[in-house]
């Protein structure tokens, strides 16, 4: 009898020693809090196993356990007596397959002596009970330490993950988490146990997922040669530099030197107005001795209408301003035209981005007479279900991709199915009908429309802001309630994302990259910078793009050279040097023609610049091949990546022998004949002018000597013109011309 009592005591102590059970007074494992974590850590409910949309080998679990009730049913009732055997737990198919005792298409999940096996065994032995209603639920996790600093690439660190529960208890769940790194090239983390191993110097994040929560720690891997690091950066001009430099100094990355006046002038002119600087602007700027000439040039460019034209083109792509000759769908060219010009007027007036979006989200009426009412129809390209509208609105305004949460909780972010369908309810009342004209559509909102229904249990979901409580929309247009919350200066989600879209334009990458994929598992490369940039944009600048652009361009960070040093040559995310950036297709097209002194033919438009076209290059049959080859957005989705900046062989071939340059040089007058008349006896002056027009610099002595050495020894104007066309062709085909640097 005494032996039996001792045995019972040993079993109880064994159960209580489990990290998943030690803080709970219950001996029987909890299905949600103990069994499901085993499935997650073993990969059973992952997307490539039984967590797939259709399961695997006839057995399905919800992805990462988002539907505990469904999982319990499928284990215990769907095929009663097959998957679990309460009379002989060790003979349960669930355990037999997990330890590879019977054929299993997946890997062996754990062995018979493991803690994971024991938890499931004990749960089955107890009768595989359903959790009581009062069973605490996970309310969050934290990863410790929040910041990990490794002195050199050979060091390691151990993380710890603590889960918090609704009853106030906490548990160490380190061994039951899934782990990943934002950059395996810098730091790796073990799949089991969360051990961090540095790979090389740099910065990254590591993440842990448990239940429906993901949290991370920032990791700094230092090069290990502190004695050789000397910090002497260019002068910090504003808050941007202070925050960028703080991160760089922590990483022992020294920023590059400031760019030359020539590089700065070309860079800032392309970025602010989408053009190359003129020869006159070049001479005025480079010969000026004013200490604040860069700030004055920035102010001058920002004040130009071209600045607004450039941002109209960008937002025209992001908002999917697109028309169709099949006018019945609400995409009549006239509707697109008035929408485009309304948007253009907003940027010319430097209207607050918050005010613009407030009007877009709340507008009703005719798409012809009230241009902002085109917003929802253009954004989704036609009448789409409310959940599609919700996904596009979330991505374009907040940078959040909610699509994963339509069918399951987001596997790499905090968004749940409740969040998804609560957000969708804001858009269920959108209505449209035909107007008096064939091409006219009338848009409205029905505040009595049914709410969105949850996919799992068909219950109606009240309106809910993402990550927030449900607002009171009684008797109100829910769109207005949404717009008030969304565009409020205190809304960190909106202000940070809008600021990052502006930052993206000037640096070629967002602080969050991709800029419209904001999630916990894709953190900003510089969190303090993004936070302050968003706050300044919303609070100090009242969402003025001009003012934020001024802050950015005046920073030393923006003005750094593209030439790297030993410490920053591998950096492409912390803004320690300028990146080589190919201009977008319409800007590049305009720059090519400006350099040639050529006015291009643009079909179906009286415009002479591609950046001014109201729906990109659509309809411009003369130049559409150029636009598509150089990555102009087809406007098929709201993804920022629709605009491509990639370099391809087809682009090089078109520049070499395509019609864009060939037509201007061989069949039309370019700048060359004019320069021949202006400098009839000064070959060097003509070459210098061509260099300044295209590259915003004079030729080097070596370049000038080489060009003059092959200059035709003839007085024939035509032969000389052809040679100079060849020089200009060479400039346009150089990498220096093709990239903003």
Give the pLDDT confidence of 598-614 residue by residue, as tens digits: 999 888 788 889 999 98
- Let me know the angle formed at the C-alpha of 220 by 215 and 225, rounded to the nearest 5 degrees: 170
User: Which residues, other chains included, contact 383 with Cβ-Cβ below 8 Å and sequence gap of 6+?
Assistant: 377, 432
Is the bond leading into 58 cis (omega within 30 degrees of zero)?
A: no
**In this predicted structure, which of 206-215, 271-280, 523-532 has the lowest mean pLDDT?**
206-215
Three-state SS at 445:
strand
Output the pLDDT for position 226.
59
Output the pLDDT for position 656.
95
Is residue 7's pLDDT more than 70?
Answer: no
According to DSSP H, which parts of 374-441 are helical? 375-380, 386-398, 417-424
Q: Which residues pair with 147 in a beta bridge?
A: 218
Asked if residues 29 and 84 have their Cβ atoms less than 8 Å apart, the reply is no
Query: What does the alpha-carbon distance between residue 39 and residue 623 come to, in Å, rounded to a whole number?
Result: 56
The enclosing H or E element of 18 equals: none
pLDDT band at 11 (very low <50, low <70, confident <90, very high): very low
Cα 419–chain centre separation: 20
> What are φ and ψ of residue 171, in 5° steps?
-140, 145
**Six-digit token string for 214:** 């993901």
pLDDT band at 359 (very low <50, low <70, confident <90, very high): very high
Cα dihedral 232, 236, 240, 243 sign: positive
Output the pLDDT for position 16.
39
> What are φ and ψ of residue 348, in 5° steps?
-65, -40
**In this predicted structure, which of 22-31, 384-393, 565-574 has the lowest mean pLDDT?**
22-31
Average pLDDT, whole number, for the chain?
A: 92
pTM of the full structure:
0.91
pLDDT band at 64 (very low <50, low <70, confident <90, very high): confident
Which one-letter DSSP state was computed for residue 165? E
State what percent of residues in the chain have pLDDT above 90. Answer: 77
Query: What does the alpha-carbon distance between residue 630 and residue 632 come to, in Å, rounded to a whole number?
Result: 6
Output the pLDDT for position 327.
77
Query: What does the alpha-carbon distance between residue 475 and residue 36 come to, in Å, rounded to a whole number?
Result: 42
């Amino acid at each position: 009898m005494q032996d039996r009592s001792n045995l019972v005591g040993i079993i109880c102590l064994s159960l209580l020693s489990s990290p998943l059970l030690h803080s709970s007074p219950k001996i029987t494992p909890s299905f949600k809090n103990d069994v499901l974590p085993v499935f997650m850590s073993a990969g059973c409910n992952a997307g490539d196993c039984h967590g797939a949309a259709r399961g695997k080998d006839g057995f399905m679990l919800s992805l990462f356990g988002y539907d505990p009730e469904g999982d319990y049913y499928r284990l215990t009732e769907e095929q009663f007596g097959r998957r679990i055997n309460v009379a002989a737990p060790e003979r349960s198919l669930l355990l037999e397959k997990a330890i590879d005792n019977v054929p299993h298409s997946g890997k062996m999940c754990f062995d018979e002596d493991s803690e994971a096996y024991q938890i499931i065994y004990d749960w089955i032995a107890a009768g595989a009970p359903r959790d009581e209603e009062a069973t605490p639920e996970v309310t969050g996790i934290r990863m410790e330490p929040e910041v990990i600093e490794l002195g050199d690439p050979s060091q390691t660190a151990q993380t710890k993950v603590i889960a918090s529960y609704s009853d106030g208890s906490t548990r160490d769940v380190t061994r039951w988490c899934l782990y990943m790194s934002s950059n395996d090239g810098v730091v790796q983390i073990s799949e089991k146990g969360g051990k961090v191993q540095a790979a090389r110097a740099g910065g990254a994040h590591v993440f842990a997922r448990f239940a429906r929560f993901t949290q991370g720690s920032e990791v700094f891997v230092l090069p290990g040669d502190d004695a050789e690091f000397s910090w002497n950066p260019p002068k910090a001009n504003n808050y941007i530099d202070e925050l960028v430099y703080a991160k760089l100094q922590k990483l022992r990355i020294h920023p590059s030197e400031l760019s030359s006046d020539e590089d700065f002038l070309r860079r800032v002119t392309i970025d602010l107005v989408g053009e190359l600087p003129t020869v006159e602007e070049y001479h005025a700027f480079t010969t000026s001795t004013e200490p604040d000439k860069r700030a004055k040039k920035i102010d001058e460019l920002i004040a130009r209408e071209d600045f607004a034209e450039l941002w109209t083109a960008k937002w025209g792509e992001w908002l999917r301003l697109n028309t169709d000759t099949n006018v019945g769908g609400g995409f009549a060219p006239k509707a697109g035209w008035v929408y485009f010009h309304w948007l253009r007027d907003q940027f010319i007036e430097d209207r607050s981005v918050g005010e613009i979006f407030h009007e877009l989200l709340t507008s009703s009426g005719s798409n012809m007479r009230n241009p902002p009412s085109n917003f929802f129809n253009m954004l989704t390209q036609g009448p789409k279900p409310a959940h599609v509208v919700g996904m596009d609105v979330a991505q374009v305004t907040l940078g959040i991709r909610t699509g994963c949460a339509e069918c399951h909780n987001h596997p790499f972010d905090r968004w749940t199915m409740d969040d998804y369908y609560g957000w969708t309810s804001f858009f269920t009342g959108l209505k449209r009908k035909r107007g008096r004209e064939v091409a006219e559509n009338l848009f409205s909102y029905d505040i009595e429309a049914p709410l969105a229904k949850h996919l799992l249990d068909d219950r109606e979901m009240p309106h809910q802001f993402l990550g927030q409580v449900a607002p009171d929309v009684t008797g109100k247009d829910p769109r207005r309630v949404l717009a008030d919350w969304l565009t409020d200066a205190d809304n960190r989600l909106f202000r940070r994302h809008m600021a990052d879209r502006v930052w993206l334009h000037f640096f070629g990458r967002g602080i969050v990259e991709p800029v419209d994929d904001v999630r916990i598992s894709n953190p900003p490369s510089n969190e303090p910078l993004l936070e302050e940039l968003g706050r300044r944009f919303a609070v100090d600048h009242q969402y003025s793009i001009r003012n934020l652009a001024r802050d950015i361009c005046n920073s030393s960070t923006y003005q750094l050279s593209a030439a790297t040093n030993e410490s920053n040559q591998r950096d492409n995310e912390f803004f320690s040097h300028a990146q080589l950036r190919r201009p977008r297709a319409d800007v590049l097209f305009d720059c090519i023609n400006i350099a040639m002194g050529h006015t291009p033919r643009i079909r179906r438009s009286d415009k002479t610049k591609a950046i001014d076209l109201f729906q990109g290059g659509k309809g411009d049959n003369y130049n559409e091949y150029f636009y598509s080859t150089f990555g102009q957005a087809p406007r098929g989705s709201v993804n920022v990546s629709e605009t491509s900046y990639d370099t391809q062989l087809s682009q090089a071939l078109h520049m070499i022998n395509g019609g864009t340059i060939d037509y201007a040089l061989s069949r039309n007058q370019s700048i060359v004949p004019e320069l021949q008349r202006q400098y009839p006896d000064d070959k060097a002056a003509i070459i210098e002018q061509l260099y300044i027009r295209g590259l915003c610099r004079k030729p080097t002595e070596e370049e000038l000597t080489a060009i003059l050495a092959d200059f035709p020894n003839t007085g024939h104007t035509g032969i000389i013109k052809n040679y100079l066309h060849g020089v200009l062709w060479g400039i346009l085909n150089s990498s220096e011309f093709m990239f903003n640097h």
